Amino acid sequence: MNLTISGHHLELTPALREYVQSKLARIKRHFDNVIDVSVILSVDKLTEKEKRQKAEINVHIKGKDLHAESIAHDLYAAIDALIDKLDRQVIKHKDRLQDHHSMAKRLPEDTVSGAAASA
């Protein structure tokens, strides 16, 4: 898995990098076929009182690209929400793959048993 973490308008500290990597372990636990991950952490300074911390991620897996983004006042909270969103997407994708594989396995058996019953 190729992991790219970049920061826009903020210094990417080793603590932030480690936090993102530890959170991404949850995604890898659910789905092994992750090819490439790109994480962008940014700070939007609209006014001094209103600072928005934004985290977005692009995940390239076999057959699909997933994208999620989250905005919060704290960057760690934004990362947590981001990983929750991505985890739901990965589980949904994995369930779809498993459903299609089980349907493909069932179809030939039904057609074979239907042909044998009519003969």
Mean pLDDT of 14-39: 90
pLDDT of 115 over the 70 cut: no
What domains sit in the chain, N to C, each tagged with a CATH number?
A: 2-118 (3.30.160.100)
pLDDT of 52 over the 60 cut: yes
Bridge-based pairing of strands 2-8 and 51-61 is unpaired
Residue of higher predicted confidence among 62 and 3: 3
pLDDT at 38: 96
Task: Return the ∠ at Cα 66 (arms to 7 and 68), rounded to 5°.
Answer: 50
Q: What is the C-alpha to C-alpha distance for residues 116 and 111, in angstroms, rounded to an integer?
A: 9
pLDDT at 97: 83
